[in-house]
Amino acid sequence: MPPHSTTNEYASDRKDKARIQIQDIKDHLNQELLTLLDYEQEQENDRDSKIKEVADSEEKQRLEKIFGIERARASNRIMQVSK
């Protein structure tokens, strides 16, 4: 304990430091989530472009199936970061 400080001041200081650490962690996770969302938005834009480029309906269906799997994986990653 620092000299001349009371137990309450010490406890308050520790709580303040803990709050700051928690906020830092939250900020980091929020930034990580935003980065992931930006990336996934770019991926979705790419998928949309690829679908629009294809004229063959069977190829479109094949791509939609693949992209559905990619979207599900992206959703899982987003949910993991959001927890």
Provide the whole-model pTM: 0.73
Q: pLDDT value at position 82? A: 86
The count of domains in the chain is 1
* DSSP reduced 3-state for 65: helix
d(CA 15, CA 12): 5
| AA letter at 53 | E
Residue 13 lies in a domain: no
Q: pLDDT value at position 4? A: 54
Residue 72 lies in a domain: yes
Residue 15 lies in a domain: no
Q: Where are the alpha helices (DSSP H) in the chain?
A: 7-53, 57-82
> Would you give per-residue pLDDT tens digits along the chain (83 residues)?
455 557 778 778 888 999 999 999 999 999 999 999 999 999 999 999 999 999 999 999 999 999 999 999 999 999 998 88
| Structural domain range at position 69 | 28-82
Q: Within 10 Å of residue 37's Cβ, how many Cβ atoms?
A: 14
